[in-house]
Amino acid sequence: MRKRVAVLDDYQGAGVSEPHWKQLEKRIVLDGYRDTLHDENALVRRLLPYEIVVLIRERTCLSASILRQLPRLELLALTGKNSGQVDLEAATSLGILVTQTKSSGASPVEMTMGLILAAAHRIPQEHMAVRQGSWQTGVGFDLASKTLGIVGLGRIGRQIASFGKFVGMRVIAWSPHLTGSKAAEAGAEYVSLDDLFLESDVVTLHLRLSERTKGIVTARQIFSMKPTACFVNTARGDLVDEESLVTALRERRIQAAALDVFHTEPLPADHALRSLDNVILTPHMGYVTAEGYEAFFGGAVENISAYLDGRTPSASVNPEVLSGPASRRRTTSESE
């Protein structure tokens, strides 16, 4: 019996179009969904027929409540690492195997650099102005000699620090466990979070989202920024008090923002950010590249194939379920 596989939130249809699926075409029935469902009941109805669900990053989150309503579900094949989009404890207790994949290390770094340059030099605004028949509608600013503030000096943040030094910026940084010596190793100066927002001409976020970091950028920090400063976020929308950021942009308390992530994704059609002329908006494209999807779906198909063969996928997050409830769940579904 072929397993039913759902790929969720595949906005462009790019995930189900990956050639890797051909090696499973006689073993699975593949469905792709190009929208995101935020209503729990609607999501459960959609997922009820499936034994295997493929999640594209954190576009859909599966809580314990949702997982308990999916009795056929055997395998959650995540693309990238589990960043909290799945209640792993609930999945394990229910006998649902969870796997993950590698991702492109270059794309979020490049996306951040692109947004910083776009904000400083007004690239999207001037592009649209030229297409509409205008010419030079505003004035940008040089990054050289300015201060770049990096919130989160991990793998991505360190590369952004190198970019800042390359274009001649002073680089300052803050992370929850950062020290002065560790910052210096990355070519940055360690400062407090409040001082970072006060001193920076460009602030960019590179923290993981967790209960500890959710809402870590508050109204106080946003309203303390220079009126000429830019705010960049390619990490996660929930790190930021989005309402205060909208206020700061609307009231011109800061010069601009460049955002790839939001509290609600896709960004609602009537969201206030869509009406502001001093913000650059991109639809969470920081990992959406040909190379990124190659890593995601190549890895997901490899994990699914191993599972169908009765092997433990090497990228399993909770392999212990294969010797417990998962094996019973699998036997039950195959006999139906």
Residue-wise pLDDT for 202-211, tens only, equals 999 999 998 8
State whether 213 and 263 are in the same domain. yes
Tell me how far apart the alpha carbons of residues 36 and 265 are, in angstroms, rounded to a whole number.
Answer: 8
Beta bridge partners of 203: 149, 231
Q: How confident is the model at residue 6 (pLDDT cuts 50, 70, 90)?
A: very high
Q: Kindly report, residue by residue over 257-286, the tens digit of the pLDDT.
A: 999 999 999 999 999 999 999 999 999 999
Task: Report pLDDT for 329.
Answer: 53
State whether 137 and 267 are in the same domain. yes
Beta bridge partners of 333: none
Task: Report pLDDT for 27.
Answer: 97
State whether 43 and 85 are in the same domain. yes
Whether 165 has a pLDDT exceeding 70, the answer reads yes
State whether 117 and 100 are in the same domain. no
Q: Kindly report, residue by residue over 123-138, the tens digit of the pLDDT.
A: 999 999 999 999 999 9
Instruction: Please tell me the pTM assigned to this model.
Output: 0.92
- Mark residue 157 as left, alpha or beta (left: phi above 0; alpha: psi -120 to 50; beta: remaining): alpha
Whether 5 has a pLDDT exceeding 70, the answer reads yes
Which residues form the domain of 64?
3-104+289-334
Q: Kindly report, residue by residue over 14-28, the tens digit of the pLDDT.
A: 999 999 999 999 999
State whether 141 and 269 are in the same domain. yes
For the annotated catalytic residues, the residue numbers are 236, 265, 284
Q: How confident is the model at residue 105 (pLDDT cuts 50, 70, 90)?
A: confident
Are 211 and 238 in contact by the 8 Å Cβ rule? The answer is no
Mean pLDDT over the full length of the chain: 94
State whether 63 and 137 are in the same domain. no
Whether 324 has a pLDDT exceeding 70, the answer reads no
Task: State how many domains the chain has.
Answer: 2
State whether 152 and 194 are in the same domain. yes
Residue indicated by tokens 């409830």: 325
Percent of the chain with pLDDT over 90: 91
Give the domain CATH number at 198.
3.40.50.720
Whether 94 has a pLDDT exceeding 70, the answer reads yes
Q: Where are the alpha helices (DSSP H) in the chain?
A: 40-47, 64-67, 88-93, 107-121, 123-131, 155-166, 180-185, 193-199, 219-223, 242-250, 290-308, 325-334
Q: Kindly report, residue by residue over 26-79, the tens digit of the pLDDT.
A: 999 999 999 999 999 999 999 999 999 999 988 999 999 999 999 999 999 999
State whether 273 and 136 are in the same domain. yes
Whether 325 has a pLDDT exceeding 90, the answer reads no
State whether 160 and 187 are in the same domain. yes
State whether 180 and 275 are in the same domain. yes
Whether 335 has a pLDDT exceeding 70, the answer reads no
Tell me how far apart the alpha carbons of residues 214 and 148 are, in angstroms, rounded to a whole number.
Answer: 22
Percent of the chain with pLDDT over 70: 96
Q: Residue 290: how many CA atoms within 13 Å on its side-chain side? A: 1
3-state secondary structure of 142: coil
State whether 122 and 223 are in the same domain. yes
State whether 46 and 166 are in the same domain. no
Whether 331 has a pLDDT exceeding 90, the answer reads no
